[in-house]
């Protein structure tokens, strides 16, 4: 793996930590504890016989992200709030080994080769049926037991603001066809955007649906519930599910329902409604059909606002949908970077994606990728304050 020299990396990391701590020190009466990125030496480990490390990016405004090649995942994301206080808005762990955890696998990784659910662990391509490991009730979730989230990726810095992760999946791995080459590039812009570029190639017809599974809390990791965050989703319809969270195939209007996020509203406002869909998901765990609202060339997926921090996260994507998960299964099972636990609904996910179970739903946008075809998609998380 290509890396920055250790001396330049250490200087780079120390500058980033100083930036956030300096900002917090000037606002002591308004801040929690000072936040910084995890220690790169303490983080390092060997998983599956391969070295796992921390990779750090920083832009000119002092926004920083820490990533790891285990699962190509986001470990920390440091953003300044409305008062200039630095907050870590992504939940995660301080050591690589803590991510190799079969109980809580999905803190921050790229998930795939097929993000979200496939019904009954089966799908067909050109008349050939493929059987996948079942790991979520009767269904396959996020690529199976040993999906991209549990792979040790190759990593290299492209610059001080971009890092590339690459991973190969063999034909038949976790039941999916094709020898596949996957590439994900994370970059920071000086406009405070975290940009994720995904690419994939295959030598046999397959399905691909890649996304990131970061848990966000815009008030900061360990700061409490996300129910008072405000959320707007640029979607007029969502895909209702059965009791195992597989879409029924219907595209249902959100208007007048608990799923209406067409204007900013508190996440907790309608979450306890007597609604069958909310009961199935134990809250929100549903795909929203983006309505074509544009930001430049991208679909404007959603806007999230931290109620205490004033941090705003706008999500733009080339994908047709976004899965909103309100942290319904978080239950104090693991300890996070700052010593807090993953308490009920203290984080949320906004996963840009093609729709769940698309390989079994011919009316949904296709996720098929053929040899010679490049799978390519981009999602942007832009941060500001209000």
Kindly state the helix (H) or strand (E) to which residue 381 belongs, with its residue range.
strand 375-385
CB contact set of 301 (below 8 Å; sequence gap of 6+): 233, 234, 290, 315, 316, 317, 319, 322, 350, 352, 379
Tell me how far apart the alpha carbons of residues 323 and 301 are, in angstroms, rounded to a whole number.
Answer: 10
3-state secondary structure (DSSP) of residue 281: helix
CA 360 to chain centre: 24
* 213 is an active site residue: yes
Q: Which of 164, 199, 319, 351 is catalytic?
A: 351
DSSP state of 383: E
Nearest Cα to 51, choosing from 124, 123, 153? 153
Question: Could you tell me which of 291, 256, 249 has the C-alpha nearest to residue 275?
Answer: 256
Q: Token pair of 15, please?
A: 């500058």
Task: Kindly give, in sequence order, each residue whose CB lies less than 8 Å from that of residue 105, ignoring residues fewer than 6 positions away.
Answer: 99, 142, 149, 150
Neighbours of 259 (CB within 10 A): 24
| Residue 113, preceding peptide bond in cis (omega within 30° of 0) | yes
Contact yes or no for 77/90 (Cβ under 8 A)? yes
Question: Among the options 80, 142, 149, 213, which is catalytic?
Answer: 213
Longest C-alpha distance within the chain, in Å?
A: 64
- Is 80 assigned a catalytic role? no
- The contacts of residue 345 (CB under 8 Å, 6+ apart) are 225, 226, 227, 283, 326, 327, 328, 330
Cβ pair 111, 323 in contact under 8 A: no
Q: How far is residue 120 CA from its own chain's centroid?
A: 24
Q: How far apart are CA 186 and CA 244, in angstroms?
A: 33
| Residue that has been written with the tokens 């306890």 in this structure | 272
Distance CA 313, CA 44 (A): 30
Task: Using the structure block, give the residue that is written with the tokens 């700061």.
Answer: 223
Which residues are part of the catalytic machinery?
213, 351
């Amino acid at each position: 793996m290509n890396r920055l020299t250790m001396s330049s990396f250490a200087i780079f990391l120390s500058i980033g930590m100083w930036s956030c701590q300096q900002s917090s020190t000037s606002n002591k009466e308004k801040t929690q504890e000072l936040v910084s990125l995890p220690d790169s030496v303490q983080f390092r480990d060997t998983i599956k016989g391969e070295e796992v490390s921390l990779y750090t990016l920083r832009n000119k405004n002092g926004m920083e992200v820490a990533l790891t090649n285990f699962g190509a995942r986001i470990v920390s994301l440091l953003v300044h709030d409305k008062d200039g206080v630095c907050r870590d808005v992504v939940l995660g762990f301080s050591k690589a080994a803590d991510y190799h955890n079969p109980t809580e696998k999905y803190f921050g990784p790229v998930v795939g080769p097929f993000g979200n659910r496939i019904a009954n662990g089966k799908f067909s391509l050109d008349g050939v049926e493929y059987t996948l490991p079942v790991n979520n009730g009767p269904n396959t979730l996020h690529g199976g037991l040993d999906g991209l989230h549990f792979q040790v990726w190759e990593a290299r810095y492209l610059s001080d603001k971009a890092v590339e992760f690459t991973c190969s999946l063999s034909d038949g791995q976790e039941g999916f066809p094709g020898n596949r080459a996957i590439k994900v590039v994370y970059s920071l812009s000086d406009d405070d955007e975290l940009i994720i570029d995904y690419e994939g190639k295959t030598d046999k017809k397959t399905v691909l649906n890649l996304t990131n599974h970061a848990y966000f809390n815009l008030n900061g990791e360990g700061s409490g519930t996300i129910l008072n965050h405000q959320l707007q989703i640029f979607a007029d319809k969502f895909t209702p599910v059965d009791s195992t969270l597989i879409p029924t195939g219907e595209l249902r209007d959100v208007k007048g329902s608990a799923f209406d996020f067409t204007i900013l509203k508190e996440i907790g406002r309608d979450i306890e409604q007597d609604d069958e869909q909310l009961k199935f998901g134990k809250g929100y765990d549903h795909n929203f059909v983006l309505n074509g609202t544009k930001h430049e060339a991208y679909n404007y997926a959603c806007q999230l606002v931290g109620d205490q921090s004033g941090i705003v996260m706008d999500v733009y994507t080339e994908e047709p949908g976004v899965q909103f998960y309100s942290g319904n299964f978080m239950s104090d099972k693991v300890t996070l970077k700052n010593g807090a636990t993953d308490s009920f609904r203290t984080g949320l996910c906004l996963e840009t994606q093609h729709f769940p179970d698309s390989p079994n739903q011919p009316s949904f946008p296709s996720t098929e990728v053929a040899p010679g075809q490049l799978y390519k998609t981009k999602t942007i998380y832009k941060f500001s304050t209000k």
